[in-house]
Amino acid sequence: MDFKIVKKQLENAYEKFNCPEFIENDPIGVPHRFSKLQDIEIAAFFAATFAWGMRKIIINKTNELLSLMDNTPYDFILNHQAKDLKPFLNFKHRTFQPDDTLYFIHFLKHFYTENDSLEHGFASFLKEEDEHIGPALAGFHNLFFSLPEALSRTKKHVATPVRKSTCKRLCMFLRWMVRNDNKGVDLGLWKQIKTSQLLCPLDVHVERIARRLKLIERKQVDWKTTLELSNNLKKFDANDPVKYDFALFGIGVLEKWG
C-alpha cells in the first residue's frame, strides 16, 4: 500500500460522495425525514436494522414500517395500544418477521419510558478511554435482550462483537448518529461517543475495495476484520476514520476511481 496515493484516493472519494445528493438513494434518507430526536433515532435504528440487500428495498420497507406507526414513531412507541399492533402481524423484511417487529417495539417502549435518548443505550457502556465502540455494541445487545419477552430468534438482528459478528448495521447506525462534519449526510446528534471510537461498517462493497487497497489482509470476514480495517483507516485520519466509509462504499458501488 502506497500511503500517500491511497490517502489521496480516499480523500477525493470522501469529498465526492459525502454530499446531500447521497441521501436520496441511501437508507440514511429515512431518518432525515424527521425533526424530533427520538423520531430520528427510531427511524435510523430500523433503517440500519433492515440494511441488507438492495438499498431501494431497504428504504421502502423502512418507510412501510414507519407508515404503520403513522409516521410518528416516538409517539406510537410510547402510546400504542395492543390493538394498534395488529397491522404489524403482516410486516416482513427478508428474515425479519412479525415477532421480531413486535419485540423491537416492546423493547423501545420499555427503553423510552425510562430514557430520553437511545444514545444512553450505547454510551452508558462506553468509557472515554475505550479505543472503539465494541463495548457499547456488546452492552447494547445485552440490554436489548434483557427483557423477559426477548426472543432468541431476534438476536440475529442485533449483532454483538462477542459472537464475532462484523456488527455492520450497528456500526453504520452509530456512524449516522455520531458523525457531524456539517456535510449534511450523517446526522451527528449524539455527543457522548467520539468519532475516533467509531468503526467502519463492513459491507460487501467496502470489503472488496478495502482488500484491493490492502487495507484488509485477514481472510475471514468477522469482528477482527472490522477492527483491522478501522485501525488502518485511523492511519489516514485518527480522529475520524469512519469518514472513509463514504469513499470505500461509493467506489465499491460505482466502481469508479476519482
**Rounded distance, CA 103 to CA 255, Å?**
39
pTM passes above 0.85: yes
pLDDT for residue 258: 44
**Rounded distance, CA 201 to CA 211, Å?**
14
Chain segment 126-170, per-residue pLDDT in tens: 999 999 999 999 999 999 999 999 999 999 999 999 999 999 999
pLDDT for residue 253: 85
**Rounded distance, CA 156 to CA 28, Å?**
22
Average pLDDT over residues 7-11: 95
CB within 8 Å of 123: residues ≥ 6 apart: 136, 190, 192, 193
Helices (H), the chain: 3-17, 37-49, 55-68, 73-79, 98-114, 119-123, 134-144, 168-178, 204-212, 223-234, 244-254
Which residue type does 141 have?
H
**Rounded distance, CA 243 to CA 152, Å?**
34
**Rounded distance, CA 59 to CA 46, Å?**
10
CB within 8 Å of 17: residues ≥ 6 apart: 246, 247, 249, 250
**Rounded distance, CA 71 to CA 52, Å?**
22
Percent of the chain with pLDDT over 90: 94
**Residue 256 binned pLDDT confidence (cut-offs 50, 70, 90):** low
Chain segment 68-114, per-residue pLDDT in tens: 999 999 999 999 999 999 999 999 999 999 999 999 999 999 999 99
Percent of the chain with pLDDT over 70: 98
Average pLDDT over residues 167-181: 98
What does the block give as the cell for 2?
502506497
**Residue 255 binned pLDDT confidence (cut-offs 50, 70, 90):** low
Q: Closest by alpha carbon to 189, among 200, 176, 199? A: 176
Number of domains in the chain: 1
Residue 27: which domain range? 3-254
**Packing angle between helix 37-49 and helix 55-68, nearest 10 degrees?**
130
Q: Among the listed ranges 18-27, 119-128, 161-170, which one has the minimum average pLDDT value?
A: 18-27
- DSSP secondary-structure letter at 164? T
Q: Alpha-carbon torsion 207, 211, 216, 217, what sign?
A: positive
Better-predicted residue by pLDDT, 81 or 258: 81
**Residue with the three cell numbers 463492513:** 202
Average pLDDT over residues 208-233: 97
